[in-house]
Amino acid sequence: MVASLNIAFIGTGVMGRSMAGHLQTAGHVLHVYNRTREKAAALLAAGATWHDSAGAAAAHADVVITMLGFPTDVEASYLGTGGIVEQARAGALLIDMTTSSPVLARRIAAAAAQRGLTSLDAPVSGGDLGAREARLVIMVGGDAAAHARAKPLFEIMGKNIALLGSSGAGQYCKMANQIAVAVGMVAWVEALAYAKKAGLDPVAVHASISGGAAGGWAMTNLAPRALGENYAPGFYVKHILKDMRIALESAAELKLDLPGLATAKRLYDQVAARGWEDCGTQALYRLYLAM
């Protein structure tokens, strides 16, 4: 049994609210902040304490967890005036679970260390479903002792947890994950768009091929949503675009050409240009239907 901790949870959106909820159910005391207070309503009703900024929440916590949208949000929350690094208690553990930049993760780690704090970058995979069912994949970068300290919390939120290396390693692993996700989205979308164009029932084709070599997480979980014209976000188009930008920038730094990812990025740019950036990533299928 893990002792109850004061945890600041910053970012209670589609995934964050479920992740924070699991920690709350496990007996931890939550201090929350989100740009839109309504998205934290269920947590507040269950006893969480609201704060008016990320830094204010961090000032009350043993552990600070962030689950935000963009690297700019992460940078402002951690490194801005009155932010998490400035306001956190001495000895606090800072865990950024946002998909963000490996370079930024290292900057946060360095700034945290200067104040006697410890930080981990621990981005996740599994989408809204994985967050709700507490079976996220958690990819961790940072010190082994900090990872050991955080692992009981990770085990409340996820099932597949790995320390990949020093600060930034979690984000590099997540970029590898997102490359596979983005290119894989193109694969199942094109398969079902092709089937429909050939005069087949794409629902029947999906039932036929999803259990074989063409199968995968997205084929199983996202293709049925698309076929049912359900484009509600489990993971936003705007966020996969952000991840692809980070991955392509990182690949350029590594002098690696990724033509598959570049193609996926071009297609999702078209999805966003049609005004669908707040839809789920399965809206790529909608683009093919409109072509």
> Which residues are tagged catalytic?
174
Please name the residue ranges forming H helices in the chain: 16-25, 41-45, 54-58, 71-79, 84-87, 102-114, 127-132, 144-157, 169-197, 202-209, 217-221, 223-227, 237-253, 259-273, 284-290
Angle between helices 237-253 and 169-197 (to 10 degrees): 120
Partners of 141 in the β-ladder? 121, 165
Residues 6 or more apart whose CB falls under 8 angstroms from that of 186 comprise: 260, 263, 264, 267, 284
Task: Compute the half-sphere exposure of residue 268: CA atoms within 13 Å on the CB side of its CA.
Answer: 28
